[in-house]
Structure 1
Amino acid sequence: MDTVLVRTTRREELVNVTEHVEVAVARSGIREGVAVVWVPHTTAGVTVNEGADPSVARDLLAALARLAPLSSAWEHREGNSDAHVKATLVGSSVAIPVHDGALALGTWQAVFFCEFDGPRQRRMAISVLAG
């Protein structure tokens, strides 16, 4: 398992971490299998989506803000309830096929670390499993 530190600079942002996952796959030497990316935080997540157009990431954050607004009447009073909800909606892990020693992502796909309660330094774990 590789652990990567991700430093975020805003309260909410999507950070393209595809290169980190590609490095872990290369280091593993596994030609066929799956790369599992896991975020061990309750106010952050990970997803796969379009990486070519940065407006997609902005649209995703805007949609999540509409679903779970910061200013809602949350029972949890730490000021980050919206971040917990957004992290649950996005999820804490993704599994990406590895084929021929490389991530089998679609043409426009990228892996994103999703920050909902930053800025912070976060951890992301990557395990590459033979298939």
Structure 2
Amino acid sequence: MTMQQEIYLSTSKKQELTDITDKVNSIIKKSKIKDGICNVFAAHATAAIIINENYDPNICLDLLDALNKLIPSGIWRHDRVDGNADSHLKSAILGPGETIPVKDGELLLGQWQSVMMAELDGPRSNRKVIVTVIGDVK
């Protein structure tokens, strides 16, 4: 069985990480799929989906700081078009999606792992994340 649903998020900062683990697990429960896989996909060129720790908020800030040091703004050819080349590059490195195992109707994540959408060119309204759950209903 397959189920697909969209999550819409609004962001308030230029860069931020939003924990969407509970929203994704809610979609899995609604699907009634017990065992399988879940793909979470950001349908944008300047947003990404990551799995990382969210228990300590400093990890999220450290990740954004590291990205900003690796990929500074204002020095890329695309900046002449709309000034957000660094956002595109960061998104390409992080990637638009993650696929996570589903066990007993929930994401099979490690103790400290969360699924997060990385906003890299905000603030934005209506960021679309597509959640696809594939598996067996038992």
Which bin holds the TM-score, normalised by the shorter protein? over 0.9
SS in 2 for 1:119: coil
Distance apart, 1:70 and its partner CA? 1.2
SS in 2 for 1:128: strand
Distance apart, 1:105 and its partner CA? 0.5
The unaligned stretches of length 5 or more in structure 2 are none
SS in 1 for 2:38: strand
* Residues 1-131 of structure 1 aligned to structure 2 (within 5 Å): 1-71=4-74, 73-76=75-78, 77=80, 78-121=82-125, 122-130=127-135
Distance apart, 1:91 and its partner CA? 0.3
Distance apart, 1:51 and its partner CA? 1.4
Runs of 4+ in 1 over 3 A off after TM superposition: none
Root-mean-square deviation (CA), in Å?
A: 0.8
Q: Deviations over 1:60-107 (max 9, x none)?
A: 000000111113x21012110000000001100000100011110000
- Amino-acid identity (%): 38
Q: Deviations over 1:30-77 (max 9, x none)?
A: 010011000110000000000111000000000000111113x21012
One-letter code aligned to 2:76: W
SS in 2 for 1:57: helix
The unaligned stretches of length 5 or more in structure 1 are none
Number of positions where the alignment pairs a residue of Structure 1 with one of Structure 2 = 130
